[in-house]
């Protein structure tokens, strides 16, 4: 049995390392992440995580771990911004309001799939022009759902959150450990 992290995200690799877990392989799932017409954020996020897990090639006994993080502003899905202009739009829309960050996990072993989603509430302050421009110049918005990363500079924009910090960063560790254990991975006694 091998553990395969199906993610190109360096955050997910680091968060897994926080549990002392080094995957046997890291493979990047290549799927179409476009939302369907009228698709709501939560079902979208769950679907994308499952599609990532299905897209990663693995042996019948291997465990594949995939995740998707989606920022939801009401019914609106904010994915990874295409450019700085879109990042600015997202940040202006998020500022001064509460939004949700959903991370869906999908763990696959052969034909079996275990899934779980974790929803956190996040409040972002209204950004001044100086803050917005500094953030856009930092490029930290790149590759981040909603155009920000709470674990970086944008931590200064988040006065309040409720939920799973590791979930917001991309891999909710409590649920990840539980799902891996359910799939038969020995999280705490790997050498035994």
Ligand X SMILES: Cc1cn([C@H]2C[C@H](O)[C@@H](COP(=O)(O)OP(=O)(O)OP(=O)(O)O)O2)c(=O)[nH]c1=O
Q: Which residues bind ligand X (CB under 6 A)?
A: 7-9, 11-12, 28-29, 52, 67-69, 71, 80, 101, 143-146, 148-151, 168-170
Q: How far is the CB of 143 from ligand X (least distance, A)?
A: 5
Q: How far is the CB of 80 from ligand X (least distance, A)?
A: 6
State which residue, 95 or 143, has the beta carbon closest to ligand X.
143
State which residue, 76 or 186, has the beta carbon closest to ligand X.
76
Distance separating alpha carbons of residues 48 and 168, to the nearest angstrom: 16
Q: How far is the CB of 191 from ligand X (least distance, A)?
A: 27
DSSP state of 18: H
Structural Rg of the chain based on CA atoms: 17
State which residue, 109 or 146, has the beta carbon closest to ligand X.
146
DSSP state of 13: H
Is 62 one of the catalytic residues?
no
**Dihedral angle, C-alpha 155, 170, 70, 102, nearest 10 °:** -90
3-state SS, residue 148: coil
Set 30, 61, 68, 121: catalytic member: 68
Q: Which two tokens stand for residue 81?
A: 């911004």
Element (H, E) at 104: strand 97-109
Residues known to be catalytic: 68
């Amino acid at each position: 049995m091998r553990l395969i992290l199906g993610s190109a995200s360096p955050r997910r690799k680091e968060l897994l390392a926080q549990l002392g877990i080094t995957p046997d392989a890291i493979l990047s799932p290549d799927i179409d992440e476009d939302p369907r017409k009228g698709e709501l954020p939560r079902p979208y996020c769950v679907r994308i995580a499952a599609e990532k897990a299905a897209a990663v090639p693995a042996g019948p006994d291997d465990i594949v771990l995939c995740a998707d993080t989606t920022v939801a502003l009401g019914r609106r899905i904010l994915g990874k911004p295409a450019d700085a202009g879109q990042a600015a739009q997202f940040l202006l829309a998020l500022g001064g309001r509460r939004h949700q960050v959903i991370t869906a996990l999908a763990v696959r072993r052969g034909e079996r799939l275990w899934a779980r989603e974790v929803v956190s509430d996040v409040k972002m302050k209204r950004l001044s022009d100086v803050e917005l421009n500094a953030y856009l110049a930092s490029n930290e918005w790149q590759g981040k759902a909603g155009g920000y990363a709470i674990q970086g500079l944008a931590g200064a924009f988040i006065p309040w959150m409720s939920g799973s910090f590791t979930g917001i960063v991309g891999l909710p560790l409590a649920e990840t450990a539980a799902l891996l254990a359910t799939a038969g991975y020995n999280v705490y006694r790997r050498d035994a």
